[in-house]
Amino acid sequence: MRISTGMKWLTGLCEVVLGIPFIGASIIIGSGWSALGVMLILHAITLILSIRDMEGKGGPILGLVTSVVGLIPFVGMVLHWITSITLLISAYRETTH
């Protein structure tokens, strides 16, 4: 498995946790919104690795957007869901090919 695929699994699972109602919000607010900053960095690393490995870039790009827009209640939660699904499907496809 390529490092970029592993990073998609990791960031996708992190997005799942952040998308869980109340739990994700507690993590984000409890960290002073720094959890979104960490995710922004992880998505940027995933994007760079995906470009290097010539793999799908949609999930990491969506993750970058989610990390910025995730400050908005409810909108952020839905974006975390969409991003997690996108990243996990991308990682699964790259793992099985």
CB 47 within 8 A of CB 60: yes
- Residue 97 pLDDT more than 90? no
Specify the pLDDT at position 1.
Answer: 81
Q: What is the pTM of this model?
A: 0.94
Domain parsing of the chain, residue ranges: 3-96
What is the dihedral sign for C-alpha 91, 49, 2, 10? negative
**DSSP conformation class of 65:** H
41-94 per-position pLDDT tens digit: 999 999 999 999 999 999 999 999 999 998 898 999 999 999 999 999 999 999
Q: Which stretch of DSSP H or E encloses residue 42?
A: helix 34-52
Residue 62: exposure state from Cβ atoms within 10 A (0-12, 13-18, ≥19) = buried
Q: Which stretch of DSSP H or E encloses residue 31?
A: none
Specify the pLDDT at position 92.
Answer: 96
Q: What is the dihedral of CA 57, 60, 66, 68, to 10 degrees?
A: -100
Specify the pLDDT at position 73.
Answer: 86
State both tokens at 86: 């996108």
Average pLDDT over residues 17-37: 95
Average pLDDT over residues 12-37: 96
